[in-house]
A and B are shown apart, each in its own frame.
Chain A
């Protein structure tokens, strides 16, 4: 296996998922992986699962999936800003209520991590970090020394994560790599409406390509309004700027946004 597609953070955005799967198929990959967080934010959670199954997407469990699958009280994002908490609660209770029992069981049983060999590279797929599902590793708040330590500890050449919602790639010592593959669920706070996934190739050296996914965001926005989801969420889909869950962003990432 030398070429795979990876994404995470679907956040109920089945329209972006459809578009990403079609795009990955067109480009030709050996496998498609999802790094978790199927639910949150968007409309109609149950529309995501048939797509994942029908396309043979290999999934691992995110913190949201763990919460929904195990019937926990919240999404385990742990915000302290009251405004962030307010919106996180709306998002979670909508997703939980609209995810069928069968799909919740499926989420509960997903593995937390997956290891694979891509060419000569030992790859670890996880949601937040190799040591904690809900750890946020931001580009501007994570030293290379720490990422090298993670590779050493887990005896791995490539670490792939999602969770933060913003893609990034950093080459490390000895041809090792850290990659956040981005999310399909919402734009990454840059004022554009597209979302992102990643293609990793080892032919034989590792290359990382971030692929923009353009999808029918206006239809998604209309469906969110029909479902009476908060206008703040819809605004993010329509403008590409995050309006909620901002407190966790480090300074550099926060400054790139508008809110």
Chain B
């Protein structure tokens, strides 16, 4: 995936993160959970730290981008959109 896509309003990592989360929820038997890019994943108990790492790794592999924790304010909430925004070219 070309890096210049990060300049678009939606990060290319977003669909990859959504897909990874959907897969995870299916595996947990919660496939019917509605995914919203602004849902707080931690507050709603959708993922734990291991699942978060797995999702990020999968999105990194799929996008060729790298997650940068500097670009993410975890305390304000861990959402798909915020996570995706913290992906940048390696």
A-B complex is real: no
